[in-house]
Chain A
Amino acid sequence: MPDDPLLQVRGLTRSYGRLVGLERLDLDLRAGECVALIGANGSGKSTAVRTIAGLLEPTDGSVRICGHDPHVEPDAELARAALALVPDTPLLYDDITVRQHLELVALTHGVVDEGVPDRIDELLERLGLSSRADFLPAELSRGMGQKTGLACALIRPAQLLMLDEPVVGLDPPSQTLLAELLVDAKERGAAVLLTTHQMRFADGVADRAILLGEGKVLDRGPWRDVRARAAKRGWLPGDGQ
């Protein structure tokens, strides 16, 4: 069904021992839509993204990405095919270059047509990584490493993009570029879920927002409404106050 959510989260809970990192999160995310998870440090944003992406096992609740559970093999394989995750710290190999990372990701996602090298060049160019294409991760700055992680996510045909604090380490022009790329992805029909402290960045991208505090959902709704209510109550972190 075209109107079915790409991402469906029901009652998602994740505990670390006694600490409840995320409590009963419900979320539907449809094609062409972007939801921002906002909240202070320790509010459960990263836990939510990591649990939805399958990096953390949920304590309770369910996740469906394009109808598939990312926590149960072999169903998870289909969920992973639809998902591209940009973690807050890029997890890159020490011994292969930026370009080779993109080649590897394309290959592992079954993108093997003849146009791949051109698309890699195009993406590197757009992200300002062309001059660093043959550099190893250790030779990159934090921002460049972050962009490499982003390029790895964008080189594959993902229906759901998930970004955990994507603007950390990026300079203002790169933040603008990232916002443009995410808008492009939405227009292509991808759904975007991101966490951020930077309200101005989310202004240009997010359609809806969920405000988290101590793992609980404090507010949810259209982005501008949630932002306004949160700012009024003094709940917003970063530049949102």
Chain B
Amino acid sequence: MAVVGDHRRQVREVRTWWRAVHPSPSLLKRLEPVYYVAFTLVFLGPFFYGTASTGLSEVATPRAVAIWGPSLALAGLLALMRWGAVQGPVVFSVPDVAQLLGAPLRRADLVLSRLVRGLLYGAGGAAVVGALALVGIASDHRGIAAGRGAGFIVAVTLLGVLGVAGSSLVQGSRRWDGATRRAAWPIFLIAAALVYVSSSGTTGRHVALWCGPWGWAVQPIAGGSGAWPIAVALLAVVTAGVVVLAVVRRGHCSTERHMLRAEARGGAVAAMYSLNARYVGRSLTGVNAGPTGGRRAWLRTPRSPRLAIAWRDAVAALSTPQRLGEALVLAAGGTLVALLNADHPAAVAAGALATYAGAARLLEPLRAETDKPSRARVLLRAPMGRILVQHAIVPGVVVVVAALAAAVGCAVAGALPDHGGSAAALAVLATPAITLCAGLSSRRGGQLPASLMSVTNTDTTGMSGAIIIGWIVAWPLLAVVLGTLPVSLIVTHGTAGAPQLVALLVVAAIALTTALSWERFAPS
């Protein structure tokens, strides 16, 4: 038997064999997407440009880039790197892991083409984001010097490449993975601090623009005329260094990590075909969740069977302290934002949305119930609707406590708005209804229902997309309305309508509880 010694030749031979078994489509066929993109751009390009220019002219201004740019770039960079914790640029199929990675082929050779492709995709995606931002920045007759515009796109492209190279390192190393996971919350705090620092004055802005690649990347728009080329050059050097490190370490990812990603991608792709967003998320996040990775909390079992579900949810919440902490922070933070900016409806709405997100973080047991309704039917006695309502108790209590603490904190600090007592009471009183909205949204699972799909399939009005988006955002939207309306009305119109608003929230909570317990629409 001849055993081939040349590693690269062996990998090439395997690829040649694979191409012979799976002949690639003709050049014409492969150029088809390019044709469609070019065709679309020629005919719709001016329309897209006009829409982007109008839509982004208010948002992507040079001032906004200077203030928000570094923190957004930092958050984007972190998100790209954390993508390596669940997928990353180099992902094989499950049979590939068994047959190719299980063979005596040099792993670095097998990985290289995928890594290069990932880096190119990262560069391309970032360039598109940069170009879109540039359209907004230059619109409204502001214009921008060609050199700065080109420099900005190059800088954002480099940032994209840096993120993908970083995600490759996270993908291949448990240490990098753990470090970026631990750094996530501190980085979000730093990003928030960067916004504050950038808006505090010239010195602060200089600090934000020079404190790292996230600042360097926005310098062509926000930096001084002589400084931005230096910043882009610095970014290029750092990016090149990280890319070299990623290329050198490309073969070091363990088979186990490759297999976890391969299985996750298989599950996520299958879930995507059935339009099941929840299973897509579960498949991907499953990469980092070991079979017994979580903490186990102990809580004395209640005497009353009525409290069984609440007890089970409390155990689940205590077993995942991070999730509990996030729920508390989101609900308390949301209430703070709403009360401190009560005269700005948009800020109150953002606060309500944060409270909604906090409740949603603790509704995982409810979602698990709807994933497998048969489990509840075998293990539990109560009707499904009642079980689902009971699953909303613990999230509701946590969110109310967090909101109450925030409101009391505001009161103690003397930071309540006009008619502050009523506004704070209504903000807290709205949280049960907000939690129930989150419960009703969670009850639907992650999949679009067949009835909705049939409606959109037979729709001839061109509103299919709007119908689907409406279905997705219906409950969060109702939560935002219920959280915003009472606080804003009290602050702007005084306390005269307070009893009616209290009645509105109580009636809403009762109606939402009834809806959540409605057997007819309970999962079966």
Contact = CB atoms under 8 A, between A and B. Distances in A.
A108 B98 contact: no
A110 interface: yes
Interface stretch (B114-122, B289-297, B343-351, B497-505): B289-297
Range of interface residues on A (Cβ < 8 Å): 35 or more
Interface string A88-130: 0001111110001101110111111101000000000000000
A93 B2 contact: no
A46 to B, nearest CB: 13
Contact of A108 (B99, B107, B255): B99
Contacts of B17: 103-104, 107
Nearest to A149: B98
B269 interface: no
B99 A105 contact: yes
Contact of B3 (A19, A94, A103, A111): A111
Interface in B97-132: 97-100, 102-108
A91 B107 contact: no
Interface in B29-70: none
A236 interface: no
A91 B293 contact: no
A74 interface: yes
A110 B292 contact: no
Contacts of A105: 99, 103
Contacts of B251: 73-74
Nearest to B292: A17
Contact of A112 (B4, B95, B292, B296): B4
Contacts of B294: 17
A190 to B, nearest CB: 15
Given A73-B107, A77-B107, A105-B99, A110 B10 contact: yes
Interface in A1-30: 16-19
Contact of B95 (A93, A109, A111): A93
B287 interface: no
5 contacts: A17-B291, A73-B252, A95-B22, A104-B99, A108-B99
Interface of A: 16-19, 54-57, 71, 73-74, 76-78, 80-81, 85, 87, 91-96, 100-101, 103-105, 107-113, 115, 152, 157
Given A54-B254, A57-B256, A108-B103, 9 more contacts: A55-B255, A87-B98, A91-B95, A91-B97, A96-B21, A104-B14, A109-B103, A110-B10, A112-B4
